[in-house]
Amino acid sequence: MSIKLDEPLELVQSPETIIVPETPVAEESQTARTKPSALKSPTLWLTCAPLIMILGWALFPTFFTGFDPISGVPAQKFQGPGAEHWFGTDHLGRDVFARVVHGTSQTLLTAGLAVTIGLVVGTGLGLLAATAGRAADAVTMRLIDVLLAVPGFLISLIIVTAFAPGPISLGVGVGIASIASFARVVRSEVLRVRSLDYVEAAFMNGGTYWSVVFNHILPNSCGPVLALLAVDLGVAILAISGLGFLGFGSPPPTPEWGLLIAEGRQYLASAWWLTTLPGVVIVAVVILLAGLGRQLHKIFRF
């Protein structure tokens, strides 16, 4: 009995040895190509550069302006935008640009508090709904539906009016209004990741509930959540500015973006820059944060 060497041996390779190594390598190489190219995108850096400057306003306001945001020179009141006063002066002779720069920290701190509340509570509710069973999912999502049924600005207004107006109550009110959006996004992403094979393999290898959640599910669900975080920060700034315009923010003469527009509305016919230029800054920051959220979604998309 002899074996011919020119005949193919059909039992040398099995279907598993052909299929298994190809797909992960292809996916890994595709991910490795996509993320560096997204990080090098000019659009991303053009979006981040103005936001870094705005962050510099909040951290080092005296580096960008030397004028006092509280006291002004009455003889220089209602001066239009120029080389000395970029955003003009108000009815008390205060530099408007200085008040915008110094008011950045107050607005961003309040918006940061709101986003932190929405992120932490919303992530907890979304994770509970996606992993704790059908009963927990039904109860949690009905609560989220109730929050979504009421406009977010109205929820913020109710919370602020129930307590003393100020940045803390303002941030809590806006944060409660943003819980529902974070909870829905986290729930959908956790459900998607939980159905993947490597999560089931982690459970079969003896992984505990919390270890699988923190090591596998949450890290691979962070992309849309980070994108929503940037967008929701812009929404929070817009809501806080609106409530500050209505008088629920910091009391005058504390510089705050919404309060600046409120102070200049009675002079709109004669001094348009008192409301227009701070409003342009608010709109620009909101648009830039929305663009940053879009770029983050592209970078962390799996």
pLDDT of residue 297: 82
| Spatial separation of the C-alpha atoms in residues 221 and 188, rounded to whole Å | 9
Mean pLDDT of the chain: 82
Where do the structural domains in the chain lie, given as residue ranges? 106-302
Tell me how far apart the alpha carbons of residues 136 and 128 are, in angstroms, rounded to a whole number. 7
For residue 251, is pLDDT > 70? Answer: yes
Amino acid at 113: L
Please give the model's pTM, rounded to 2 decimal places: 0.82
For the cut 90, the answer to whether the pLDDT of residue 285 exceeds it is yes
Check residue 209 and give its pLDDT.
Answer: 72
**pLDDT value of residue 35:** 56
Which two structure tokens, joined as six digits, stand for 76?
């220089």
The token pair that represents 52 in the structure block: 């870094």
Residue 36: pLDDT band with limits 50, 70, 90? low
pLDDT confidence bin for 208, thresholds 50/70/90: confident
Can you tell me the mean pLDDT for 253-267? 89
Q: Burial-class residue 14 by CB neighbours within 10 Å (0-12, 13-18, 19+).
A: exposed
Q: Tell me: cis bond preceding 8? Omega within 30 of 0 counts.
A: no
- Find out whether 296 and 233 touch, Cβ atoms under 8 Å: no
Topology (CATH level 3) of domain 106-302 = MetI-like fold (1.10.3720)
Cα separation, 98 vs 253, in Å, equals 13
Average pLDDT over residues 77-103: 92
How high is the pLDDT of residue 14?
43
Instruction: Report H helices in the chain.
Output: 15-19, 22-39, 42-59, 61-64, 96-131, 134-149, 152-162, 167-177, 179-194, 197-204, 209-212, 222-245, 257-264, 273-299
Nearest to 94 by CA among 72, 122, 63: 72
User: Residue 182 half-sphere exposure, CB side, CA atoms within 13 Å?
Assistant: 28
Q: Is the pLDDT of residue 206 over 50?
A: yes
Predicted local confidence at residue 301, as pLDDT: 67
**Are the beta carbons of 114 and 153 closer than 8 angstroms?**
no
Check pLDDT > 60 for residue 25: no
Overall average pLDDT of the 223-250 stretch: 90
Q: Which residues are bridge partners to 95 per DSSP?
A: 89
What average pLDDT does this structure show over 256-266?
90
Residue bearing the bigger pLDDT, 26 or 123: 123
pLDDT at residue 2 above 60? no
Q: Which residues contact 260 (CB under 8 A, 6 or more apart)?
A: 96, 99, 100, 103, 274, 275, 278
Residues 224, 182: Cα–Cα separation, whole Å? 10
Could you read off the pLDDT of 175-201 as tens digits, one per residue?
Answer: 999 999 999 999 988 888 887 777 778
Q: Is 88 helix (H, G, I), strand (E, B) or coil?
A: coil
> Can you tell me the mean pLDDT for 276-302?
88
- Residue 21's pLDDT is what? 41
In sequence order, the β-bridge partners of residue 292 are: none
Q: What is the CA radius of gyration of the chain?
A: 27
- Residue 40 to residue 295: CA distance in whole angstroms: 11
Closest residue by Cα to residue 279 from 119, 128, 100, 72? 100
